[in-house]
Structure 1
Amino acid sequence: MSAVTSQTFFSAFFKTLGVLFFYIFFGLLIDSVFMVENYQDLQWFANWLMVVIFSITFFKGSPRIKEQMLYIVLIAIIVEYTFSIGTGMYTYRLENVPHYIPMGHALVYAAVIYFTKTPYAKNNKRFLEKVFTLLIIVIATTFLIFKNDVFGFVLTIATLLILRKKPRERMFYLTMFIAVSYLEIVGTAFECWWWPTTAWDNIPFLPSANPPSGISFFYFGFDLVTLWLYKKRHKIAWRRMKNIRKMRLQTLKIVN
Protein backbone atom coordinates (compact mmCIF):
# COMPACT_ATOMS: atom_id res chain seq x y z
CA MET A 1 0.00 0.00 0.00
CA SER A 2 1.54 3.27 -1.14
CA ALA A 3 0.91 6.35 -3.21
CA VAL A 4 0.03 5.32 -6.75
CA THR A 5 -0.45 6.97 -10.14
CA SER A 6 -3.69 5.20 -11.01
CA GLN A 7 -5.90 6.80 -13.66
CA THR A 8 -8.96 4.53 -13.19
CA PHE A 9 -11.20 3.93 -10.21
CA PHE A 10 -10.50 0.21 -9.94
CA SER A 11 -6.75 0.70 -10.10
CA ALA A 12 -6.84 3.52 -7.53
CA PHE A 13 -9.16 1.55 -5.26
CA PHE A 14 -7.48 -1.84 -5.34
CA LYS A 15 -3.97 -0.45 -4.78
CA THR A 16 -5.03 1.54 -1.70
CA LEU A 17 -8.40 0.85 -0.08
CA GLY A 18 -8.58 -2.61 -1.64
CA VAL A 19 -5.33 -3.61 0.05
CA LEU A 20 -6.63 -2.15 3.32
CA PHE A 21 -9.93 -4.02 3.06
CA PHE A 22 -8.06 -7.29 2.49
CA TYR A 23 -5.88 -6.67 5.56
CA ILE A 24 -8.97 -5.82 7.63
CA PHE A 25 -10.89 -8.94 6.60
CA PHE A 26 -7.97 -11.35 7.05
CA GLY A 27 -6.66 -9.74 10.25
CA LEU A 28 -10.04 -9.63 11.99
CA LEU A 29 -10.85 -13.17 10.87
CA ILE A 30 -7.75 -14.33 12.79
CA ASP A 31 -9.10 -12.65 15.96
CA SER A 32 -12.70 -13.78 15.41
CA VAL A 33 -14.94 -15.90 17.63
CA PHE A 34 -15.10 -18.36 14.71
CA MET A 35 -11.33 -18.99 15.01
CA VAL A 36 -11.57 -19.38 18.78
CA GLU A 37 -14.42 -21.88 18.56
CA ASN A 38 -12.93 -23.94 15.72
CA TYR A 39 -9.18 -23.63 16.28
CA GLN A 40 -7.71 -21.53 19.09
CA ASP A 41 -7.40 -17.96 20.31
CA LEU A 42 -5.04 -16.36 17.80
CA GLN A 43 -5.18 -12.74 18.91
CA TRP A 44 -1.43 -12.92 19.58
CA PHE A 45 -0.90 -13.82 15.92
CA ALA A 46 -3.13 -10.95 14.77
CA ASN A 47 -0.99 -8.61 16.89
CA TRP A 48 2.29 -9.78 15.36
CA LEU A 49 0.86 -9.77 11.84
CA MET A 50 -0.18 -6.16 12.33
CA VAL A 51 3.35 -5.27 13.46
CA VAL A 52 4.68 -6.65 10.16
CA ILE A 53 2.04 -4.93 7.98
CA PHE A 54 2.35 -1.66 9.86
CA SER A 55 6.15 -1.71 9.57
CA ILE A 56 6.07 -2.35 5.81
CA THR A 57 3.55 0.47 5.25
CA PHE A 58 5.43 2.80 7.59
CA PHE A 59 8.85 2.41 6.00
CA LYS A 60 7.44 2.78 2.48
CA GLY A 61 5.73 6.05 3.41
CA SER A 62 6.92 9.61 3.02
CA PRO A 63 8.34 11.45 6.07
CA ARG A 64 5.01 13.22 6.54
CA ILE A 65 3.00 9.98 6.40
CA LYS A 66 5.42 8.31 8.82
CA GLU A 67 5.11 11.10 11.34
CA GLN A 68 1.33 11.20 11.10
CA MET A 69 1.05 7.41 11.44
CA LEU A 70 3.02 7.60 14.69
CA TYR A 71 0.71 10.33 15.97
CA ILE A 72 -2.32 8.22 15.10
CA VAL A 73 -0.94 5.23 17.05
CA LEU A 74 -0.27 7.33 20.15
CA ILE A 75 -3.66 9.05 19.99
CA ALA A 76 -5.44 5.75 19.35
CA ILE A 77 -3.93 4.17 22.46
CA ILE A 78 -5.32 6.98 24.61
CA VAL A 79 -8.71 7.05 22.88
CA GLU A 80 -9.20 3.27 22.85
CA TYR A 81 -8.51 2.85 26.56
CA THR A 82 -10.65 5.88 27.39
CA PHE A 83 -13.72 4.96 25.35
CA SER A 84 -13.60 1.15 25.47
CA ILE A 85 -12.19 0.37 28.92
CA GLY A 86 -13.10 3.68 30.57
CA THR A 87 -16.61 4.54 29.34
CA GLY A 88 -17.76 1.20 27.89
CA MET A 89 -18.74 2.78 24.59
CA TYR A 90 -17.85 -0.55 22.93
CA THR A 91 -16.26 -3.79 24.12
CA TYR A 92 -13.57 -6.00 22.59
CA ARG A 93 -13.83 -9.79 22.60
CA LEU A 94 -11.44 -10.29 25.52
CA GLU A 95 -12.54 -7.03 27.19
CA ASN A 96 -9.10 -5.60 26.50
CA VAL A 97 -7.67 -3.35 23.79
CA PRO A 98 -5.89 -5.65 21.31
CA HIS A 99 -2.40 -4.41 20.46
CA TYR A 100 -3.21 -4.45 16.73
CA ILE A 101 -5.98 -1.87 17.09
CA PRO A 102 -3.92 1.38 17.43
CA MET A 103 -1.68 0.37 14.52
CA GLY A 104 -4.81 -0.51 12.54
CA HIS A 105 -6.08 3.04 12.94
CA ALA A 106 -2.85 4.29 11.37
CA LEU A 107 -3.23 1.90 8.43
CA VAL A 108 -6.77 3.15 7.76
CA TYR A 109 -5.51 6.73 7.84
CA ALA A 110 -2.65 5.99 5.43
CA ALA A 111 -4.86 4.08 2.97
CA VAL A 112 -7.42 6.89 2.84
CA ILE A 113 -4.66 9.45 2.29
CA TYR A 114 -3.16 7.39 -0.53
CA PHE A 115 -6.53 6.90 -2.24
CA THR A 116 -7.45 10.59 -2.14
CA LYS A 117 -4.06 11.50 -3.62
CA THR A 118 -4.35 9.23 -6.65
CA PRO A 119 -4.77 11.03 -10.01
CA TYR A 120 -8.19 9.42 -10.44
CA ALA A 121 -9.49 10.70 -7.09
CA LYS A 122 -8.14 14.19 -7.76
CA ASN A 123 -9.58 14.35 -11.29
CA ASN A 124 -12.98 13.01 -10.24
CA LYS A 125 -13.30 14.63 -6.83
CA ARG A 126 -16.83 16.03 -7.20
CA PHE A 127 -18.18 12.84 -8.77
CA LEU A 128 -16.71 10.66 -6.00
CA GLU A 129 -18.02 13.00 -3.32
CA LYS A 130 -21.55 12.64 -4.71
CA VAL A 131 -21.28 8.84 -5.00
CA PHE A 132 -19.78 8.43 -1.53
CA THR A 133 -22.38 10.76 0.01
CA LEU A 134 -25.20 8.78 -1.60
CA LEU A 135 -23.66 5.49 -0.42
CA ILE A 136 -23.32 6.83 3.12
CA ILE A 137 -26.95 7.97 3.16
CA VAL A 138 -28.07 4.54 1.91
CA ILE A 139 -26.03 2.76 4.62
CA ALA A 140 -27.30 5.02 7.42
CA THR A 141 -30.92 4.81 6.25
CA THR A 142 -30.76 1.03 5.90
CA PHE A 143 -29.35 0.69 9.42
CA LEU A 144 -32.02 3.07 10.75
CA ILE A 145 -34.91 1.18 9.13
CA PHE A 146 -33.80 -2.40 9.70
CA LYS A 147 -31.70 -2.07 12.88
CA ASN A 148 -33.31 0.94 14.59
CA ASP A 149 -29.93 2.65 14.50
CA VAL A 150 -30.94 6.13 15.66
CA PHE A 151 -27.51 6.78 17.19
CA GLY A 152 -25.67 5.99 13.97
CA PHE A 153 -28.14 7.95 11.84
CA VAL A 154 -27.76 11.08 14.00
CA LEU A 155 -23.97 10.83 13.79
CA THR A 156 -24.17 10.41 10.00
CA ILE A 157 -26.34 13.48 9.54
CA ALA A 158 -24.03 15.49 11.82
CA THR A 159 -21.03 14.38 9.76
CA LEU A 160 -22.61 15.33 6.43
CA LEU A 161 -23.75 18.72 7.74
CA ILE A 162 -20.25 19.53 8.99
CA LEU A 163 -18.68 18.46 5.67
CA ARG A 164 -20.95 20.79 3.70
CA LYS A 165 -18.75 23.67 4.86
CA LYS A 166 -15.45 21.78 4.50
CA PRO A 167 -14.87 21.47 0.73
CA ARG A 168 -11.12 20.91 1.01
CA GLU A 169 -11.45 18.12 3.58
CA ARG A 170 -14.71 16.61 2.29
CA MET A 171 -13.21 13.97 0.01
CA PHE A 172 -10.89 12.67 2.70
CA TYR A 173 -13.59 12.35 5.36
CA LEU A 174 -16.18 10.80 3.05
CA THR A 175 -13.59 8.18 2.06
CA MET A 176 -12.74 7.68 5.73
CA PHE A 177 -16.45 7.13 6.46
CA ILE A 178 -16.62 4.35 3.85
CA ALA A 179 -13.42 2.69 5.12
CA VAL A 180 -14.53 2.81 8.75
CA SER A 181 -17.99 1.46 7.88
CA TYR A 182 -16.37 -1.57 6.26
CA LEU A 183 -14.02 -1.99 9.23
CA GLU A 184 -16.85 -1.84 11.76
CA ILE A 185 -19.17 -4.17 9.85
CA VAL A 186 -16.44 -6.81 9.46
CA GLY A 187 -15.20 -6.44 13.04
CA THR A 188 -18.65 -6.83 14.60
CA ALA A 189 -19.63 -9.63 12.19
CA PHE A 190 -16.56 -11.60 13.36
CA GLU A 191 -17.41 -10.62 16.97
CA CYS A 192 -14.00 -9.07 17.53
CA TRP A 193 -15.90 -6.31 19.35
CA TRP A 194 -19.48 -5.24 19.85
CA TRP A 195 -21.52 -2.12 20.54
CA PRO A 196 -24.32 -1.90 23.15
CA THR A 197 -27.95 -1.50 22.13
CA THR A 198 -27.98 2.19 23.09
CA ALA A 199 -25.32 4.90 22.91
CA TRP A 200 -22.78 4.23 25.69
CA ASP A 201 -25.28 1.63 26.95
CA ASN A 202 -26.75 4.51 28.93
CA ILE A 203 -28.77 6.80 26.62
CA PRO A 204 -32.14 5.09 25.96
CA PHE A 205 -33.40 7.68 23.44
CA LEU A 206 -30.42 6.84 21.16
CA PRO A 207 -30.84 3.15 20.26
CA SER A 208 -27.83 1.81 18.42
CA ALA A 209 -27.02 -0.93 15.93
CA ASN A 210 -23.97 -3.14 16.24
CA PRO A 211 -22.12 -1.21 14.83
CA PRO A 212 -23.66 2.27 14.63
CA SER A 213 -23.60 3.39 11.00
CA GLY A 214 -22.12 6.84 11.67
CA ILE A 215 -19.38 5.92 14.10
CA SER A 216 -16.86 7.48 11.72
CA PHE A 217 -17.88 10.77 13.33
CA PHE A 218 -15.60 9.91 16.27
CA TYR A 219 -12.79 8.63 14.06
CA PHE A 220 -12.47 12.12 12.64
CA GLY A 221 -11.10 13.21 16.00
CA PHE A 222 -8.00 11.11 15.31
CA ASP A 223 -7.37 13.03 12.12
CA LEU A 224 -7.99 16.47 13.58
CA VAL A 225 -5.62 15.92 16.50
CA THR A 226 -3.03 14.39 14.17
CA LEU A 227 -3.19 17.39 11.85
CA TRP A 228 -2.96 19.78 14.80
CA LEU A 229 0.16 18.02 16.11
CA TYR A 230 1.74 18.04 12.65
CA LYS A 231 1.04 21.76 12.27
CA LYS A 232 2.63 22.47 15.64
CA ARG A 233 5.73 20.50 14.70
CA HIS A 234 6.09 22.16 11.30
CA LYS A 235 4.82 25.72 11.74
CA ILE A 236 7.05 27.33 9.10
CA ALA A 237 6.36 24.70 6.43
CA TRP A 238 2.63 24.80 7.17
CA ARG A 239 2.56 28.60 6.93
CA ARG A 240 4.40 28.42 3.63
CA MET A 241 1.91 25.90 2.27
CA LYS A 242 -1.03 28.11 3.29
CA ASN A 243 0.53 31.08 1.52
CA ILE A 244 0.98 29.00 -1.64
CA ARG A 245 -2.70 27.99 -1.49
CA LYS A 246 -3.74 31.65 -1.16
CA MET A 247 -1.62 32.62 -4.15
CA ARG A 248 -3.15 29.82 -6.23
CA LEU A 249 -6.68 30.89 -5.30
CA GLN A 250 -5.91 34.52 -6.15
CA THR A 251 -4.47 33.43 -9.52
CA LEU A 252 -7.59 31.38 -10.29
CA LYS A 253 -9.84 34.34 -9.44
CA ILE A 254 -7.84 36.59 -11.76
CA VAL A 255 -7.97 34.02 -14.60
CA ASN A 256 -11.71 33.48 -14.17
Structure 2
Amino acid sequence: MLRHFPACNVSFNHQKRDYLIAAFTFICVAICLLSDAHAAIEKQNALGVCGWVFLLGLLLGEPIEVRVQVGIAVIFATIGEHFASPYMGGYTYRFGNVPAYVPPGHGMVYLTAVALARSGLFLRYAREIATFVVSVCGVWSLWGISGIPDQGDAVGALLFCVFLAYLFKGRSPMVYLAAFFITTWLELIGTAVGTWKWAAIDPVLGWSQGNPPSGVAAWYCLVDAVAMGGAVPVMTGLKSVQAWVKSARSRKNAYQGAESK
Protein backbone atom coordinates (compact mmCIF):
# COMPACT_ATOMS: atom_id res chain seq x y z
CA MET A 1 0.00 0.00 0.00
CA LEU A 2 1.35 3.40 -0.96
CA ARG A 3 2.07 5.55 2.09
CA HIS A 4 1.92 9.32 1.99
CA PHE A 5 5.03 11.45 2.37
CA PRO A 6 5.05 12.69 6.01
CA ALA A 7 4.62 16.38 5.39
CA CYS A 8 3.61 18.96 7.94
CA ASN A 9 0.61 21.24 7.46
CA VAL A 10 1.56 24.01 5.07
CA SER A 11 -0.17 27.23 4.17
CA PHE A 12 -1.58 28.09 0.77
CA ASN A 13 1.31 30.50 0.20
CA HIS A 14 3.81 27.78 1.02
CA GLN A 15 2.11 25.43 -1.44
CA LYS A 16 2.45 28.10 -4.13
CA ARG A 17 6.12 28.29 -3.23
CA ASP A 18 6.43 24.52 -3.77
CA TYR A 19 5.10 24.85 -7.31
CA LEU A 20 7.36 27.82 -7.98
CA ILE A 21 10.41 25.82 -6.83
CA ALA A 22 9.46 22.98 -9.17
CA ALA A 23 8.74 25.24 -12.16
CA PHE A 24 11.94 27.22 -11.60
CA THR A 25 14.07 24.07 -11.40
CA PHE A 26 12.51 22.47 -14.49
CA ILE A 27 13.19 25.65 -16.48
CA CYS A 28 16.73 26.06 -15.09
CA VAL A 29 17.59 22.44 -15.91
CA ALA A 30 16.54 22.88 -19.53
CA ILE A 31 18.36 26.20 -19.95
CA CYS A 32 21.52 24.94 -18.23
CA LEU A 33 21.80 21.68 -20.20
CA LEU A 34 21.00 23.31 -23.52
CA SER A 35 23.55 26.07 -22.80
CA ASP A 36 26.23 23.55 -21.84
CA ALA A 37 25.73 21.39 -24.93
CA HIS A 38 28.33 23.34 -26.92
CA ALA A 39 29.78 25.65 -24.26
CA ALA A 40 33.41 26.18 -23.30
CA ILE A 41 34.61 25.15 -19.85
CA GLU A 42 34.47 28.79 -18.71
CA LYS A 43 30.75 28.99 -19.42
CA GLN A 44 30.27 25.66 -17.69
CA ASN A 45 31.92 27.11 -14.58
CA ALA A 46 29.75 30.22 -14.79
CA LEU A 47 26.68 27.98 -14.86
CA GLY A 48 28.00 26.40 -11.68
CA VAL A 49 28.17 29.78 -9.93
CA CYS A 50 24.59 30.52 -11.01
CA GLY A 51 23.52 27.11 -9.73
CA TRP A 52 24.90 27.79 -6.25
CA VAL A 53 23.26 31.22 -6.13
CA PHE A 54 19.90 29.76 -7.15
CA LEU A 55 20.14 26.86 -4.68
CA LEU A 56 21.06 29.08 -1.73
CA GLY A 57 18.25 31.47 -2.65
CA LEU A 58 15.68 28.66 -2.74
CA LEU A 59 16.88 27.31 0.63
CA LEU A 60 16.31 30.64 2.39
CA GLY A 61 12.61 29.87 2.75
CA GLU A 62 13.08 26.28 3.92
CA PRO A 63 13.17 24.91 7.48
CA ILE A 64 16.50 23.84 8.93
CA GLU A 65 15.62 20.14 8.54
CA VAL A 66 15.20 20.49 4.78
CA ARG A 67 18.38 22.56 4.48
CA VAL A 68 20.33 19.82 6.25
CA GLN A 69 18.82 17.14 4.01
CA VAL A 70 19.67 19.10 0.88
CA GLY A 71 23.23 19.65 2.12
CA ILE A 72 23.72 15.93 2.75
CA ALA A 73 22.14 15.10 -0.61
CA VAL A 74 24.57 17.44 -2.40
CA ILE A 75 27.61 15.95 -0.67
CA PHE A 76 26.56 12.33 -1.24
CA ALA A 77 25.45 12.88 -4.85
CA THR A 78 28.66 14.76 -5.70
CA ILE A 79 30.81 11.95 -4.33
CA GLY A 80 28.69 9.50 -6.30
CA GLU A 81 29.13 11.56 -9.47
CA HIS A 82 32.92 11.49 -9.23
CA PHE A 83 32.90 7.75 -8.55
CA ALA A 84 30.36 6.78 -11.24
CA SER A 85 31.55 9.07 -14.03
CA PRO A 86 35.29 9.92 -14.14
CA TYR A 87 36.36 6.88 -12.10
CA MET A 88 34.03 4.07 -13.25
CA GLY A 89 32.92 5.45 -16.61
CA GLY A 90 29.25 4.57 -16.17
CA TYR A 91 28.47 7.79 -18.02
CA THR A 92 30.70 10.52 -19.38
CA TYR A 93 30.33 14.30 -19.53
CA ARG A 94 31.61 16.25 -22.54
CA PHE A 95 34.89 17.25 -20.91
CA GLY A 96 35.32 14.01 -18.96
CA ASN A 97 34.78 15.93 -15.73
CA VAL A 98 31.94 16.58 -13.31
CA PRO A 99 30.62 20.00 -14.41
CA ALA A 100 30.56 22.78 -11.83
CA TYR A 101 26.78 23.07 -12.01
CA VAL A 102 26.20 19.41 -11.11
CA PRO A 103 26.58 19.67 -7.27
CA PRO A 104 24.14 22.60 -6.85
CA GLY A 105 21.99 21.02 -9.54
CA HIS A 106 21.61 17.91 -7.40
CA GLY A 107 20.53 20.15 -4.53
CA MET A 108 17.89 21.86 -6.67
CA VAL A 109 16.64 18.53 -8.02
CA TYR A 110 16.36 17.03 -4.53
CA LEU A 111 14.62 20.15 -3.20
CA THR A 112 12.19 20.01 -6.12
CA ALA A 113 11.35 16.39 -5.33
CA VAL A 114 10.69 17.34 -1.70
CA ALA A 115 8.63 20.40 -2.69
CA LEU A 116 6.45 18.42 -5.11
CA ALA A 117 6.07 15.58 -2.62
CA ARG A 118 4.54 17.89 0.00
CA SER A 119 2.43 19.86 -2.50
CA GLY A 120 -1.34 19.61 -2.52
CA LEU A 121 -1.37 18.15 -6.01
CA PHE A 122 0.81 15.17 -5.13
CA LEU A 123 -0.86 14.51 -1.78
CA ARG A 124 -4.34 14.75 -3.32
CA TYR A 125 -3.63 12.51 -6.32
CA ALA A 126 -0.97 10.22 -4.84
CA ARG A 127 -2.43 6.97 -6.17
CA GLU A 128 -3.10 8.34 -9.63
CA ILE A 129 0.43 9.72 -9.88
CA ALA A 130 1.89 6.45 -8.60
CA THR A 131 -0.10 4.50 -11.19
CA PHE A 132 1.12 6.81 -13.96
CA VAL A 133 4.77 6.65 -12.91
CA VAL A 134 4.84 2.87 -12.46
CA SER A 135 3.05 2.35 -15.79
CA VAL A 136 5.29 4.69 -17.80
CA CYS A 137 8.52 3.51 -16.21
CA GLY A 138 7.42 -0.12 -16.47
CA VAL A 139 6.67 0.15 -20.21
CA TRP A 140 9.94 2.02 -20.72
CA SER A 141 11.85 -0.75 -18.93
CA LEU A 142 10.12 -3.53 -20.88
CA TRP A 143 10.89 -1.73 -24.14
CA GLY A 144 14.55 -1.53 -23.12
CA ILE A 145 14.87 -5.31 -22.72
CA SER A 146 12.58 -6.22 -25.61
CA GLY A 147 15.38 -6.31 -28.16
CA ILE A 148 13.74 -3.57 -30.24
CA PRO A 149 16.18 -0.72 -29.46
CA ASP A 150 19.75 -1.02 -30.74
CA GLN A 151 21.10 -0.24 -27.27
CA GLY A 152 19.47 -2.58 -24.75
CA ASP A 153 18.69 -1.52 -21.21
CA ALA A 154 19.01 -4.41 -18.76
CA VAL A 155 20.40 -2.00 -16.14
CA GLY A 156 17.31 0.19 -16.51
CA ALA A 157 15.05 -2.81 -15.83
CA LEU A 158 17.04 -3.61 -12.69
CA LEU A 159 16.85 0.01 -11.53
CA PHE A 160 13.09 -0.03 -12.14
CA CYS A 161 12.77 -2.99 -9.77
CA VAL A 162 14.83 -1.11 -7.19
CA PHE A 163 12.61 1.94 -7.70
CA LEU A 164 9.50 -0.17 -7.04
CA ALA A 165 11.02 -1.55 -3.85
CA TYR A 166 11.74 1.96 -2.59
CA LEU A 167 8.31 3.19 -3.68
CA PHE A 168 6.35 0.60 -1.72
CA LYS A 169 8.74 -0.02 1.17
CA GLY A 170 10.73 3.23 1.51
CA ARG A 171 10.07 6.04 3.95
CA SER A 172 9.43 8.80 1.35
CA PRO A 173 7.31 7.38 -1.50
CA MET A 174 6.04 10.78 -2.62
CA VAL A 175 9.60 12.08 -2.93
CA TYR A 176 10.47 9.10 -5.14
CA LEU A 177 7.47 9.74 -7.40
CA ALA A 178 8.41 13.41 -7.74
CA ALA A 179 12.03 12.46 -8.40
CA PHE A 180 10.91 10.40 -11.40
CA PHE A 181 9.56 13.49 -13.16
CA ILE A 182 12.52 15.81 -12.61
CA THR A 183 15.20 13.14 -13.17
CA THR A 184 13.52 11.88 -16.35
CA TRP A 185 13.28 15.49 -17.58
CA LEU A 186 16.97 16.21 -17.03
CA GLU A 187 18.16 12.83 -18.31
CA LEU A 188 16.21 13.05 -21.56
CA ILE A 189 17.42 16.58 -22.24
CA GLY A 190 21.02 15.99 -21.16
CA THR A 191 21.49 12.84 -23.23
CA ALA A 192 19.60 14.24 -26.24
CA VAL A 193 21.86 17.29 -26.59
CA GLY A 194 25.04 15.36 -25.74
CA THR A 195 25.82 16.99 -22.39
CA TRP A 196 26.61 13.49 -21.16
CA LYS A 197 26.29 9.93 -22.45
CA TRP A 198 25.69 6.66 -20.63
CA ALA A 199 28.00 3.75 -21.46
CA ALA A 200 26.36 1.08 -23.63
CA ILE A 201 27.68 -1.58 -21.24
CA ASP A 202 27.62 -0.96 -17.50
CA PRO A 203 31.24 -1.20 -16.22
CA VAL A 204 30.22 -2.98 -12.99
CA LEU A 205 27.55 -5.49 -14.05
CA GLY A 206 28.57 -5.84 -17.69
CA TRP A 207 24.90 -5.47 -18.67
CA SER A 208 23.43 -3.38 -21.46
CA GLN A 209 22.51 0.13 -20.41
CA GLY A 210 20.18 2.65 -22.02
CA ASN A 211 21.06 6.25 -22.73
CA PRO A 212 19.53 7.06 -20.26
CA PRO A 213 18.55 3.95 -18.25
CA SER A 214 14.78 3.69 -17.76
CA GLY A 215 14.86 3.37 -13.97
CA VAL A 216 17.40 6.11 -13.35
CA ALA A 217 15.14 7.70 -10.70
CA ALA A 218 16.14 4.83 -8.40
CA TRP A 219 19.47 6.56 -7.78
CA TYR A 220 17.59 9.49 -6.22
CA CYS A 221 15.80 7.07 -3.92
CA LEU A 222 19.24 6.20 -2.56
CA VAL A 223 20.16 9.89 -2.30
CA ASP A 224 16.97 10.54 -0.33
CA ALA A 225 17.61 7.59 1.99
CA VAL A 226 21.08 8.93 2.80
CA ALA A 227 19.78 12.48 3.21
CA MET A 228 16.94 11.45 5.51
CA GLY A 229 19.12 9.11 7.55
CA GLY A 230 22.04 11.52 7.77
CA ALA A 231 19.85 14.45 8.79
CA VAL A 232 18.88 12.75 12.07
CA PRO A 233 22.35 12.71 13.70
CA VAL A 234 23.18 16.13 12.25
CA MET A 235 20.02 17.67 13.72
CA THR A 236 20.67 15.90 17.03
CA GLY A 237 24.20 17.31 17.06
CA LEU A 238 22.97 20.83 16.28
CA LYS A 239 20.42 20.66 19.10
CA SER A 240 23.11 19.45 21.50
CA VAL A 241 25.38 22.35 20.51
CA GLN A 242 22.52 24.85 20.93
CA ALA A 243 21.69 23.42 24.36
CA TRP A 244 25.35 23.62 25.40
CA VAL A 245 25.63 27.24 24.22
CA LYS A 246 22.43 28.17 26.04
CA SER A 247 23.63 26.47 29.21
CA ALA A 248 27.02 28.20 28.99
CA ARG A 249 25.37 31.60 28.59
CA SER A 250 23.11 30.93 31.56
CA ARG A 251 26.09 29.99 33.73
CA LYS A 252 27.97 33.08 32.57
CA ASN A 253 25.03 35.38 33.35
CA ALA A 254 24.58 33.76 36.75
CA TYR A 255 28.29 34.19 37.53
CA GLN A 256 28.27 37.84 36.45
CA GLY A 257 25.13 38.45 38.51
CA ALA A 258 26.76 36.92 41.61
CA GLU A 259 29.88 39.07 41.17
CA SER A 260 27.86 42.30 40.90
CA LYS A 261 26.24 41.74 44.31
Is 1:155 the equivalent of 2:193?
no
What is the CA RMSD across the aligned residues, in angstroms?
2.9
Partner in structure 2 of residue 30 of structure 1: 35
CA distance in 1, matches of 2:51, 2:236: 32
Structure 1: unaligned runs, 5 residues or longer: 238-256
Which stretch has the larger CA shift, 176-185 or 14-23? 14-23
* Conserved? CA contact 2:156–2:210, under 8 Å: yes
2: CA distance between counterparts of 1:17 and 1:105?
Answer: 13
- 1:12–1:115: 8 Å Cα contact kept in structure 2? no
Normalising by structure 2, we get a TM-score of 0.76
Percent sequence identity over matched residues? 24
TM-score, scaled to structure 1: 0.78
Match of residue 250 from structure 1: none
How does 1:77-156 map onto structure 2 within 5 Å? 77-145=78-146, 146=149, 147-156=151-160
SS in structure 2 at match of 1:91 = strand
Indicate which of 180, 183, 205 corresponds to 1:180.
183
Q: Distance in 1 between the 2:111 and 2:64 partners?
A: 12
Q: Which runs of 5+ in 2 are unaligned?
A: 1-9, 239-261
Q: Which amino acid aligns with 1:5?
A: F
- Measured after TM superposition, the shift of residue 55 of structure 1 is 2.0
Q: Secondary structure at the match of 1:95?
A: coil
**For residues 23 and 143 of structure 1, what CA distance do their matches in structure 2 show?**
29
Gap change, CA 1:15 and 1:135, over 3 Å in 2: farther
Q: Deviation per CA, 1:184-235: give whole Å up to 9, x if none.
A: 11111121111111112x644x111111111222232221111111111235
1:46-61 to structure 2, matched below 5 A, reads 46-61=47-62
Q: 1:127 to 1:140 in 2, by over 3 A?
A: same
Instruction: Give the distance between the partners of 1:217 and 1:95, measured in 2 at CA.
Output: 24
Cα distance in 2 between the residues matched to 1:48 and 1:101 = 11
Q: Distance in 1 between matches of 2:44 and 2:237?
A: 43
110-119 vs 76-85, greater mean Cα deviation: 76-85
Change (3 A) 1:16 1:4: farther
Matches within 5 A, 1:192-203: 192-200=195-203, 203=205
Taking structure 1 as reference, are residues 82 and 4 closer, same or farther at Cα in structure 2, changes over 3 Å only? farther
How far the C-alpha of 1:106 sits from its partner, in A, is 0.8
